[in-house]
Amino acid sequence: MTDSPILLTPGPLTTHPATRQAMLRDWGSRDKAFIALTAELRTRLLAVANGQATHAAIPLQGSGTFIVEAAISTLVRKTDRLLVLINGAYGERILAIAQRHGLDAVALRAPEDQAIDPARVDATLAADPAITHVALVHCETTTGLLNPLESIAGVVAHHGKPLILDAMSSFGALPLDLAATPVCAVLASSNKCLEGVPGLGFALIAHDALAAAKGVSPSMSFDLHAQHQGFEANGQWRFTPPVQVVAALVEALRALESEGGPTARLARYQDNLRTLAEGMTRLGFPLYLDPAIQAPIIATFRPSPARPFEFEAFYDGLAERGFLIYPGKLTREDSFRIGCIGDLHRADFERLLAAVEQVLAREPA
Ligand SMILES: *Cc1c(COP(=O)(O)O)cnc(C)c1O
């Protein structure tokens, strides 16, 4: 077996061997053992966000975008108006999904390097009472920016509107307490901070919103109300589940609990980011974002204008040394990104920094 590369990406990412090991068996999708595994999955997902009393966990086959599309089209009706808060590519994607579904959607935009301002959300909701739903990206993976969830959720709840939260790159690490923070629907996937393998998204949806969503979705396979009905009826998935992905995610959720839950995971990611940011700054690559809004998920770096820098060569040099970084996603500037999440620890980042130094010095691998 060849060694896997170290993935310094926002996902799929480096997984623990026990998580990959959990995939080495076959499961009958309608057998008791897999029904129990699905039940454990749904219970554990709710527990991560303390949503047991208020929300239902609805897993769905596919990547993260699939669950975003499923949730928007299950919860927002043609007669509704969705306000999308946008400061990066994933906010733009929510808007594009709403438009593709012919929904009435309006955008409130902030620059890519600035958090969404709750006061502007408040003013927008006050000025347009026809808005029925609000969508927010918790951590904007475009840059690694953390939006102020608690204050925005407070504003949205004050106006009596449901909040749909794309928590794809924050769920499992950044704090989210559904008993304290009013969020109607939380969307995330298996292969980011939960450190599972890709192939599964899930929504945690408030029971009342879910009950009101019967027959809203124009889609058969993306209808989360129907998907939920399927689980409630017999504990089974409506259509073929990615059984190995589910097994890996349950293993990864057990590991999250053993690690000490999201608090411990966040501390590890913060340590990774600190090591990375200090080292990269020393090597001439300061963080793009103000540290006050930088989430310990993925960091954006800009090459200094003073030194010639070619991303392809930099990428290849690091790849030869076993590290896969990620291209930038800024619309206006050259940049690259390095992820802090996955089964990675400070020592991995120290080895990465040594590799960066070698590549910059054009030393042979
Ligand atoms: C990863 C991610 C998604 C979903 O991306 P997929 O490639 O479809 O898995 C959506 N929103 C955010 C914020 C993300 O980080």
Query: Is it the case that residue 328 has pLDDT exceeding 90?
Result: no
Question: Counting runs of H as helices and runs of E as strands, what totals does the chain give?
Answer: 12, 14
Q: Quote the tokens at residue 246.
A: 């589910």
Q: Quote the tokens at residue 288.
A: 């793009």
Q: Which of 149, 116, 140 is nearest to 294 (CA)?
A: 140
Architecture of domain 18-258: 3-Layer(aba) Sandwich (3.40)
Ligand 1 pocket: which residues have CB below 6 Å? 10-11, 63-65, 68, 90, 137, 141, 166, 168-169, 189
* Cα 186 to ligand 1 centre (Å): 13
Q: Which atom number of ligand 1 is nearest to the Cα of residue 138?
A: 13
Query: Is it the case that residue 284 has pLDDT exceeding 80?
Result: yes
How far apart, in Å, are the Cα atoms of 79 and each of 101, 104, 210?
Answer: 12, 8, 17
- 11 pLDDT tier (thresholds 50, 70, 90): confident
Pocket test of ligand 1: the residue of 7, 92, 147, 189 to mutate, having most ligand atoms within 8 Å of its CB, is 189
Q: Residue 15: what pLDDT? A: 97
Cβ-Cβ contacts under 8 Å for 170 (sequence gap 6 or more): 138, 139, 146, 176, 188, 193, 295, 297
Q: What is the pTM of this model?
A: 0.97
Residues in the chain: 365
Cβ-Cβ contacts under 8 Å for 36 (sequence gap 6 or more): none
Paired strand residues for 164:
135, 185
Q: Order of strands, edge to edge, in the sheet holding 326-327?
A: 298-301, 336-339, 326-327
Q: Do 60 and 223 meet the contact criterion of CB atoms below 8 Å apart? A: no
Q: Residue 2: what pLDDT? A: 57
Query: Is it the case that residue 111 has pLDDT exceeding 90?
Result: yes
* Cα 33 to ligand 1 centre (Å): 30
Question: What's the fold here for domain 6-10+260-360?
Answer: Aspartate Aminotransferase, domain 1 (3.90.1150)
Paired strand residues for 204:
57, 186
- 221 pLDDT tier (thresholds 50, 70, 90): very high
Query: Is it the case that residue 70 has pLDDT exceeding 50?
Result: yes
Closest-CA residue, ligand 1 atom 6, reads 64
How far apart, in Å, are the Cα atoms of 6 and each of 149, 153, 171, 310?
Answer: 31, 36, 21, 21
Enumerate the domain spans of the chain: 6-10+260-360, 18-258
Q: How many CA atoms lie within 13 Å of 164's alpha carbon, on the beta-carbon side?
A: 27
Query: Is it the case that residue 307 has pLDDT exceeding 80?
Result: no
- 308 pLDDT tier (thresholds 50, 70, 90): confident
Q: Tokens 């029904």 identify what position?
A: 35
Output 350 or 306, whichever has higher pLDDT: 350
Q: Which atom number of ligand 1 is nearest to the Cα of residue 169?
A: 15
- 1 pLDDT tier (thresholds 50, 70, 90): very low
Alpha carbons 187 and 129: distance in angstroms, whole number = 25
Q: Residue 330: what pLDDT? A: 78
